Structure 1
Amino acid sequence: MNPAVAMVVPITAIVCIVGLLAILRKFENDERMAMIEKGLTPMQKQGMRVNPASALRWGCLFMGVGFGIFLANLLEGIKETNPDALYPALILFFGGLGLLISYYIQLKLDEKAK
């Protein structure tokens, strides 16, 4: 592939995305200004709230996946096994185990809150 074409594609994509975001921002501003002119109160943007249950779920999932990768590395180093099946199996197993652990932790937290 021609190097000039290889540079044009990402640059064009970035320019298009930035342009689209600018147009969306302009229309959002025009809508808010029209609401103010009509005497309506525009909705306020709410700040991002973190759901503690979601944070717990994702944290346990990623810890399980990390532990699965770690264990797969250990088993591959100790024993000459085929890593093609070892990595996905342990990642999925410990990721699911992390989700189960987060479920039971959330269950206990909900019971304690009652």
Structure 2
Amino acid sequence: MIFGIRYLSNKEKMAMIERGIDPGVHKATPKPFLSLKFGLLLVGLGIGLLVALFTVRGMFGSDITHSEEGQAVAIYFGCIGIFGGLGLIVSYVVEKKWFDNNKF
């Protein structure tokens, strides 16, 4: 199977060379804002966890019963989703502003 995959890959590259196409075109292009996107996502998740922690401690105090524990978990997951999404939205706004200012 490995031989077959390698054989077909080599055959494809040879066909590209015969047609005058550079076979190195398939390499991945760099994504300049990928680290910004993940950074803002993680910051948003961290802020969401902090907000959830303060919300749960403010609502329930230090003594949480078993029935209130389920509500606390829901608050944690909700805040993680909300603030993670806000981080991605901020990333989109920053990228859009940069692309609008640097038109090619």
* TM-score normalised by the chain length of structure 2: 0.58
* Bigger RCO (CA 8 Å, 6+ sep): 2
What is the percentage of aligned positions where both structures have the same residue? 27
User: How far apart in 2 are the matches of 1:27 and 1:61?
Assistant: 40
Q: 1:28–1:61: structure 2 CA closer, same or farther, 3 Å change rule? A: same
* TM-score normalised by the chain length of structure 1: 0.55
CA-CA distance at 1:68 after TM superposition: 1.8
Q: Deviations over 1:32-91 (max 9, x none)?
A: 34x38x944453224432222444333312321233234434555673463320221011
> Does residue 95 of the first structure (1) align with residue 84 of the second (2)?
yes
Count of aligned residue pairs for this structure pair: 93
Q: Which residue of 2 aligns with 1:106?
A: 95
Which of the numbers 23, 37, 45 marks the counterpart of 1:65? 45
> Does residue 49 of the first structure (1) align with residue 49 of the second (2)?
no
Q: Which residue of 2 aligns with 1:28?
A: 9
Give SS of 2:24's match.
Answer: coil
Q: 1:32–1:112: structure 2 CA closer, same or farther, 3 Å change rule? A: closer
Poorly superposed stretches of 4+, deviation over 4 Å: 73-78
CA-CA distance at 1:26 after TM superposition: 2.5
